[in-house]
Amino acid sequence: MSYIEFIGPPGTGKSKIHQELIKKTDFYGGFNEDGLERAFLNDKIELKANHKFKRIYRFCPSSFKSFFDDKILQYYIGDICFTNFISEKPGYLEIIKDGLESVAVEKKKIINYLKHNAEKYQLGISTKLPNETLVLDEGFSQGSVSILWRENKRRFSLKKYFEVAPTPDKIIYINAPTDLCIERQRKRGNIIVDKNYGTPQELQKKHEKACNEVVNYLEKNGVEKIQIKNKNKSIKKKTDKIKKKLK
């Protein structure tokens, strides 16, 4: 087992559970952990940066590193990772085109989302250690969901998508009741399903339907599903349950 993805509608608590899981040393979060630093300092990805600058970066305070990572390094390394990914999987450009043509709204967001998925995967796979399993909070499975719930008429092919996009060994499906998910989004001040083309309840349910469709497709094609219902705030218990199922 070397690659796991999380999937689920917004507000289910995917990110919190993911952050708790990757605290365990053999689960690696890539971009959400120290992937940028690994890539920059350890030559895991071919970069045009001299060793003197790398030494300066290594001994800089963490506040500077965070600023540098957020404002410069993630874009620089991200572009290199995307180029490397496309060189290995050129058909992914066609997938981005298909996604763009399939969605009825937020087309630019889809392009950026699918590109970033490829960057995160390439960074993670390139920098993970032999004893680590890459675990992505939002990977290619969630990328396909982002397309499906924005469609008006069904056009997008999951078969074609997953013939190109890397398929996880296991998928962790986090779900929760619709109203609870919307309430959680409201509390954090970012209601992802608050759009001018549907009510939050309608769009949340479209999200749920799309997640179910993707998970069912992956299960039928040999991907093991771990499903977690996150109705309460006990993130550690949920994470411990996942760890037991991953053994």
List pLDDT tens digits, range 146-157.
999 999 887 899
DSSP state of 30: G
Q: Which residues neighbour 135 within 8 Å (Cβ) at sequence distance 6 or greater?
A: 4, 5, 6, 18, 21, 22, 27, 28, 29
Give the C-alpha separation, 197 to 71, whole Å: 33
Segment 222-234 shows an average pLDDT of: 90
Question: Residue 139's pLDDT is what?
Answer: 95
Q: What's the domain range around 54? A: 3-246
List pLDDT tens digits, range 156-213.
999 999 999 999 999 999 999 999 999 999 888 887 878 888 888 999 999 999 999 9
Give the C-alpha separation, 208 to 211, whole Å: 5
Residue 169 sits in a domain whose CATH number is 3.40.50.300
Confidence grade of residue 52 (pLDDT, cut at 50, 70, 90): low
Segment 123-139 shows an average pLDDT of: 93
Question: Residue 46's pLDDT is what?
Answer: 66
- On the 0-12 / 13-18 / 19+ scale of CB atoms within 10 A, 34 is middle
List pLDDT tens digits, range 56-102.
677 778 887 777 777 778 888 899 999 999 999 999 999 999 999 99
| Cβ atoms of residues 207 and 7 within 8 Å | no
Question: Residue 25's pLDDT is what?
Answer: 80
Q: Which residues in 87-200 belong to E strands, given as ranges? A: 133-136, 170-175
Q: What domain count does the chain have?
A: 1
Give the C-alpha separation, 115 to 105, whole Å: 17
- Does the pLDDT at position 51 exceed 70? no
